[in-house]
Amino acid sequence: MSRPILVLCLALLLPLPALAGEHAHATEPQAHEGHEAHAATAAEADAPAVRWQPDAPLSRGMQRVRAATAALEHGEHGHLDAVQVQNIAAELRAAVDEMFANCRLEPEPDAALHPLLARVLGASRALSEGEFDQAALDELRAVLARYPVLFDDAAWSVSQSD
């Protein structure tokens, strides 16, 4: 996605002008530090009439988020230590960073995706201290439930039936 289009998409998502400066360098990983704020300030788009097709980086990234979430579910039963939780947090962050760096979506699906990724980043941040966090797991589950409402990802459907 070209920089002007990305900036426009982000400007539509961010009602707070002060946050727009965080996104001026969207190709730099640290430029997305404020994305968890999107979850609180940007309303998620209604489901599109026709679900969007994800690009390959989005599909791969969301598969990584789903795998990390499945691993985190072991924490509900006390089966994760602090290092494992920190590794899951790092994997979530890395998956989102890769999606941001390689995203080539059109503006409308890109704008719908950003609140989801912001929520993943927020969960990652909550887990980064190494403690299992039920609220973070619940947030990740909500993101995973919302993703197929917005995107028609063939890989998502296939891996769900495994």
The pLDDT of residue 157? 75
Residue 160 has what pLDDT? Answer: 57
Give the closest residue to 54 by CA, choosing from 117, 131, 135: 117
* pLDDT number for residue 115: 96
pLDDT in the model for residue 34: 43
Q: What is the pLDDT along the chain (162 residues), one digit of tens a residue?
A: 443 333 333 333 333 222 223 333 333 334 444 444 444 334 445 778 889 999 999 999 999 999 999 999 999 999 999 999 999 999 999 999 999 999 899 999 999 999 999 999 999 999 999 999 999 999 999 999 999 999 999 998 765 544
- Domain boundaries of the chain, sorted by first residue: 3-28+38-160
User: What local confidence, expressed as pLDDT, does residue 41 receive?
Assistant: 35
Integer Cα distance of 60 and 136 in angstroms: 21
- What tokens appear for 126 in the block? 């909550």
pLDDT attached to residue 158: 62
